[in-house]
Amino acid sequence: MTEQAPVAESGTTDIPGKPTSASRTTLSHIMTHHDTNLLGTVHGGVIMKLVDDAAGAVAGRHSGGPAVTASMDEMAFLEPVRVGDLVHVKAQVNWTGRTSMEVGVKVLAERWNESAPPTHVGSAYLVFAAVDADGKPRPVLPVLPETEQDKRRYQEAQIRRTHRLARRRAIMELRERRAAEGFED
Ligand X SMILES: CC(C)(COP(=O)(O)OP(=O)(O)OC[C@H]1O[C@@H](n2cnc3c(N)ncnc32)[C@H](O)[C@@H]1OP(=O)(O)O)[C@@H](O)C(=O)NCCC(=O)NCCS
**Own/partner pairs, 7-12, CB within 8 angstroms, 24+ separation:** 7/144, 8/144, 8/145, 8/146
* CA dist., res. 96 & res. 78, Å (int): 27
Q: Considering the complex, what minimum distance in angstroms separates the CB of residue 13 from ligand X?
A: 19
Q: Is 97 a residue that touches ligand X (CB under 6 A)?
A: yes
Among 25, 99, 124, 125, binds ligand X (CB under 6 A): 99
- What 3 state SS string does 116-138 have? CCCEEEEEEEEEEEEECCCCCEC
Q: Is 133 a residue that touches ligand X (CB under 6 A)?
A: no
What is the helix (H) or strand (E) element at residue 176, kind and residue range?
helix 148-180
Using the rule CB under 6 A, give the single segment among 11-19, 69-77, 104-112, 116-124 that binds ligand X: 69-77
Q: Is 66 a residue that touches ligand X (CB under 6 A)?
A: no
Q: Which is nearer to ligand X, 35 or 102 (by Cβ)? A: 102
Among 7, 22, 70, 86, binds ligand X (CB under 6 A): 70
